[in-house]
Structure 1
Amino acid sequence: MLLSKTQTSTATSWIEKVRYHKNKGTHFKFPVNPHFRYTAFLFVFLSLWFLLQVFWFPSTKTHPLPKTQYPTTTVSAISTASYEVHINHKTTKKSSSPKCNGRVSVYVYNLPAEFNLDLLDGCSHLNVYTNMCPHVANSGLGQPLDNMDLSSSDSNPWFATHQFIAEMIFHARVENHPCRTWDPAKANLFYVPFYGGLHVSSKFREQNHTIRDALAVRLINYLHDQPTWRKRYGKDHFIALGRTSWDFIRTDGGPDFGANCLLNLPSVKNMSVLTVERNPWHGSNQHGIPYPSYFHPSTSDQMLTWQRMMRQSNRPYLFSFIGAPRKGVDKAAIRDEMIKQCMESTRCQLLKCNGGNPKCYNPSDILTVMRESQFCLQAPGDSFTRRSTFDSILSGCIPVFFSRHTAYTQYAWFLPGEASKYSVYMDEQGDESKRIEEKLLKISKEEVEKMRTTVIDMIPRLTYAHPNASSSDLGFKDVVDVALEALAQHVRNKIQQDDLEIAESRY
């Protein structure tokens, strides 16, 4: 190990003094007695050796490396890159000195590769609509963006992140998390890193339900064989999914949109499910987690710099809308109304996304519109929620919701309990949604400033930090930190309730 500057200076100074005195033979005379001369020489030699041991070879403790999370398997170039990043996560964890508050101790299952890494071999077929190979790179962050603010910093925090990739980023973050344990006996959470969203989107057009469900069924069979599962039958287990819950709930009577049966399986109902959109009515074991945006900082400086920029951002437009018209009576009605009102107003900035408008796929263009707006309209998309909600908060733009299920019933762990502190609500069936500009103009400047301050303060907990970030440098709680703490508390409450019911049944 190399010496620190202080150690080097001290050791060098002492050695030079010894050399100086040893070479000053003409000025410093040892006694003539040979035994005394030998003893003095031996004393100097041993003293020198002792100091070299102290300064040049400081005591260190060695720690055995954890077992590799992924089995050795031949994977594609992108899978291999992802594997290398995960291994580096473990190295980072061992070389830093992160702290864990003691409330969370999460064990990560070493699943067979068919449930995660092997899926990346067929990245070009993971989504029936697009090639996912560029998006699964960098542990799910996607391709780096070079035309964004802060991109000149030591580590670029900007990536073209796909909206349905949270499960990969979550996995990478937990692997490097300070509260991770390799000892299942010490864990209070058990994470099952199944890339269920990537798998289900590759099977949307599979007509055979048995084939469509097969991997989910094999996952549960695998878990049933684990002693850690049998201890509480999965009540302390959780899974993170990058797609909406509707993609994992196939109903017999309704139309078949390509969903599988994962969330209908009784064993999964014992588990906690993290998903970007939960079922508001029958999802008691489901917990909403934010869609990933494009910003993945690795230091607190990057986060603080971005928040400061958003506070100082000039916002000439009262409101904006980014989106395309939709088919269907309900979806079309509110979106058509938004587009119409925005086009008629000089205070609104519209980014219309029909016809393949390239600006709608450019993160820089999207965030620029939001950074220039005080309010951002959030119409429901194919389902209640949309990634745009989190893009707008990242941009310091106050979200305007038209369905309570777009945010209020979804992300209780992440959003303030009082919705009016950070958002505006207009019922899509009510009169207010017909007079959007009028409603927004009634909000005082002071109230707008308070709301924007709250929104910008929310950015860290709604952001997925870079998986390679050291917790000692991060300095804030991101999505994964917030989710693990809330999940640990939820599991504790659930287990305590179960234990209480068992105790009461004995009397």
Structure 2
Amino acid sequence: MFFRKPSPTSTSSLHDHLPSSPDPFSNTKDKDPNIYIAKLTKIKYFLFSSIFIATWLILIRLRLFPTNTTTITTSLSTTLNNHTKTCLGSYPFYIYNLPPKFNLGLLEHCNKLNIYTNMCPHVANNGLGQPITTVTETVTALPLSTSSSSWFATHQFIAEMIIHARLENHPCRTWDPTEARLFYVPFYGGLYASSVFREANLTQRDSLIVDLVDFLQSQPRFSVNNGRDHFLALGRTAWDFMRTPDGPDFGANILLNLPSVKNMSVLTVERQPWQGKNQFGIPYPSYFHPRSLTELAKWQNGIRHSQRPHLFSFVGGPRKGLKKAQIRDEILKQCRNSEKCELVQCGRGAGKCHDPMAVLEVMTKSRFCLQAPGDSFTRRSTFDSILAGCVPVFFSPHTAYSQYAWYVPDERDTYSVFIDENDCGEGKKSIEEVLMAISKEKEEKMRGVVISLINKVTYMHPNASVVEDVSFGDAVDIALERLSRIVEEKISGGDSESEEV
């Protein structure tokens, strides 16, 4: 299921890297047998020394870079003659070897990981999902061929698996916990949470969470700094892990309310804006997972020159019973009534809405993309629109501004438009009029910033580091860099709860 790095050069092929030795029986002009024996002795000594040195190098490499990883069995990614990758911008980190029940063991029952859908196709390929290999008539206008091996139908709640795979291959990883300054706990908490949403027995629903904390507290490295140098990555919103006795259930568990976990740093696709001091928003995964800088640049250049006949578009559907989603009804109404809006309405049987390439085609043809809150404040569509070079339009500050400070500029009007949902309604602001009032020059500058954000909000292919010796600073690289700063402040006694770190 998991990508594997190229196997190390075999012992037999190691001979190819050794200095060649002369054949003692060919073209020798020495007729004296004593001279011949002396030369043969030197040759034997040279061969023995060469083999000894080669064996010594292999043993050292296996000691520093053992072939067994913490939870995903892979082989060495580089051979002795490869360039050594450099860890830049982040502290060295260690990956805990958790018991399988906390991550890979959950995948054995992938058809039961989500009460709404079969997750087996989505957990494939390290969580990237199924490759997108076909090009239909509706997507031929996209600037990069969809037959590329870097395009996948990635599930929106699967970031924890992708991050795990990326970190397994990351150059900042160390296999020696005494050398680490960061410690990653590869718990697939989102997949577990969604598998027990309907579990009525709260003790049973929280059982794996309690087991995880017990495991961590038994680890020597956890107790050194009381978990302050440890971090989790969760593929679902923080609300799914913050159940309280006096609050609504919603199928959540208590993970983020436990004191030990509050000491840790938690990466999540949506943080709790008011109580999530140790939570840090990371991008929802979109469909593009480039293996190289060349692929990324090709996509960026293509969408930079994309024709955009639609002033704005909306990909989404209505929501019932949610006050924060009332803005959706207004957006749907205004979009239907505008000749400048392209609407892709989602709902049962809405095939185009669930076709990644069809959605991206609409966005690449739109100048602005409306991003309304739904079941929660944030949505994956925000990152689809950035990938498409479409300027996002927000109606709540918690859809992006209070969430993704690591990934987007502080100056919100440099890359987005904000229309307060309370100002958008009957007899109030018209979305079309607000967007029409933005000058073409300002719009182009905003689009340039949006396109420059693509690498930051994109998750590289887990094997990208095998293809290129450098990273282009993707979502995982940025998270590691920021986590390094946060841990430094926590341990040194600084302000560990700053959201803007």
- Maintained 8 Å contact 1:93/1:176: no
* Corresponding residue of 1:104: 91
- The one-letter amino acid of 1:326's match is R
Which residue, out of 316, 321, 326, partners 2:319? 326
Tell me the residue number matched to 1:443.
438
Deviation, structure 1 residue 397: 0.7
Matched, 1:131 2:124: no
Residue of structure 1 equivalent to 2:7: none
Decide which of 218, 239, 244 is 1:225's aligned counterpart: 218
1:220-279 deviations in Å (ceiling 9; x for gaps): 111111111111111111111000000001122232211011111111111111100001
Structure-2 separation of matches of 1:330 and 1:291: 23
In the other structure, the counterpart of 1:159 is 152
| 2:156–2:284 contact (8 Å) kept in structure 1 | yes
Q: CA separation of 1:269/1:475 partners in 2, compared to 1, >3 Å: closer, same or farther?
A: closer
Question: How large is the RMSD of aligned CA atoms in angstroms?
Answer: 3.0
1:496 aligns with 2:483: no
Answer yes or no: is the 8 Å Cα contact 1:422–1:451 preserved in 2.
yes
Deviation at 1:184, TM superposition (A): 1.1
User: Does the CA-based 8 Å contact 1:300-1:473 persist in structure 2?
Assistant: no
| Contact kept in structure 1, 2:325 and 2:372, CA below 8 Å | no
Q: 1:110-149 alignment to 2 at 5 Å?
A: 110-147=97-134, 149=144
TM-score calculated relative to the size of structure 1: 0.85
> How far 1:150 sits from its partner (Å)?
3.8
Q: Distance in 2 between matches of 1:277 and 1:118?
A: 25
- Aligned counterparts of 1:417 and 1:127: Cα–Cα separation in 2: 36
- Give the counterpart letter for 2:86 in structure 1: K
Distance 1:164 1:106 in 2: 24
Matched, 1:434 2:419: no
In 2: Cα distance, 1:145 partner to 1:53 partner: 53
In the TM superposition, residue 108 of structure 1 has moved relative to its aligned partner by 0.6
1:202/1:347 Cα in 2 relative to 1: closer, same or farther (>3 Å)? same
Return closer, same or farther for 1:140/1:429 CA change in 2, 3 Å cut-off: same
Asked if the contact 2:85/2:470 (under 8 Å) is kept, the reply is no
Matched, 1:453 2:445: no
The residue that corresponds to 1:469 in the other structure is 464
Q: CA offset at residue 333 of structure 1?
A: 2.8
- The Cα of 1:345 is off from its aligned counterpart by 1.6
1:80 equivalent in structure 2 = none
Structure 1 CA distance, aligned partners of 2:459 and 2:215?
A: 29
Asked if residue 91 in structure 1 is aligned to residue 76 in structure 2, the reply is yes
Contact 1:376/1:392 (<8 A) preserved: yes
Offset of 1:420 from its aligned partner?
1.0
Contact 1:92 1:468 in 2 (8 A): no
Question: Residues 325 and 374 of structure 2 are in contact (CA less than 8 Å); yes or no, is this contact kept in structure 1?
Answer: no
Are 1:414 and 2:399 an aligned pair? Answer: no
* Distance in 1 of aligned mates of 2:51 and 2:297: 39
SS for the counterpart of 1:400 is: strand
Task: Write the letter of the residue equivalent to 2:77.
Answer: T
Per-residue deviation, 1:206 = 0.7
Give 1:55 shift.
11
Q: 1:56 to 1:269 in 2, by over 3 A?
A: closer
Q: 1:56 to 1:236 in 2, by over 3 A?
A: closer
Gaps of 5+ in 2: 1-11, 136-143, 497-501
Change (3 A) 1:498 1:269: same
What's 1:81 paired with? none
Instruction: Return closer, same or farther for 1:91/1:199 CA change in 2, 3 Å cut-off.
Output: same
CA distance in 2, matches of 1:329, 1:190: 38
In 2, distance between residues paired with 1:4 and 1:366?
A: 53
1:341-360 → structure 2 map (5 Å cutoff) = 341-360=334-353
Cα offset, 1:44, TM superposition:
7.4
Partners of 1:315 and 1:371 within 8 A in 2: yes
Percent identity of equivalent pairs: 55
- 1:363-402 superposed matches below 5 A: 363-402=356-395
Matches within 5 A, 1:472-483: 472-473=468-469, 475-483=471-479
Pair 1:301–1:212, CA change in 2 (3 A): same
Matched residues in 2 for 1:181 and 1:152: separation?
A: 35
Matched, 1:192 2:185: yes
- The CA distance in 1 between the partners of 2:494 and 2:304, in whole Å, is 47
Distance 1:329 1:384 in 2: 11
1:203 maps to a residue whose letter is V
**AA aligned opposite 2:85:** P
User: CA 1:451–1:403 in 2, change beyond 3 Å: closer, same or farther?
Assistant: same
Name the amino acid aligned to 2:278.
Answer: N
Q: Cα–Cα, structure 1 residues 102 and 456, in superposed 2: closer, same or farther, change >3 Å?
A: closer
Q: Does 1:66 align with 2:66?
A: yes
Question: Which range moved further: 119-128 or 40-49?
Answer: 40-49
Distance 1:3 1:388 in 2: 50
Q: Could you report, residue by residue, the CA deviation over 1:161-189 in whole angstroms, capped at 9, with x for unpaired residues? A: 11001111111111111111111111111
Measured at CA, do residues 208 and 456 of structure 1 come closer, stay the same or move farther in structure 2, by a change above 3 Å? same
Partner of 1:484: 480
Distance 1:147 1:265, change over 3 A: same
The secondary structure found in structure 1 opposite 2:423 is coil
Partner of 2:242: 249
Q: Shift of residue 87 of structure 1?
A: 2.6
Describe how 1:48-59 pairs up with structure 2 within 5 A.
59=54
- Contact 1:400 / 1:426 at 8 angstroms: preserved in 2? yes
User: Is the 1:392–1:398 Cα contact (8 Å) retained in structure 2?
Assistant: yes
- Greater shift after overlay, 414-423 or 378-387? 414-423
**Distance of aligned partners of 1:226 and 1:499 in 2 relative to their CA distance in 1, 3 Å threshold:** farther
Distance 1:413 1:461 in 2: 9
CA distance in 2, matches of 1:57, 1:159: 47
Amino acid at match of 2:491: I
Match of 1:185, SS state, is: helix
Residues 147, 364 of structure 1: 8 Å contact kept? no
Q: Give the partner amino acid of 1:361.
A: H
Structure-2 separation of matches of 1:465 and 1:380: 27
User: What is the distance in 1 between the residues matched to 2:495 and 2:450?
Assistant: 40
Q: Please give the residue correspondences for 1:177-188 in structure 2 after superposition, counting only pairs within 5 Å.
A: 177-188=170-181
SS of the counterpart of 2:243?
coil
Uncovered stretches (5+) of structure 1, i.e. residues with no partner: 23-29, 72-85, 501-507
Give aligned pairs, total.
467
Tell me by how many angstroms 1:104 deviates. 1.3
State which structure, 1 or 2, has the greater radius of gyration over its C-alpha atoms: 1
SS in 2 for 1:91: coil
- Alignment partner of 1:264 out of 231, 240, 257: 257
- Using the TM superposition, give the Cα deviation of residue 469 of structure 1 relative to its aligned residue in structure 2, in angstroms: 1.8
How big is the shift at 1:356? 2.3
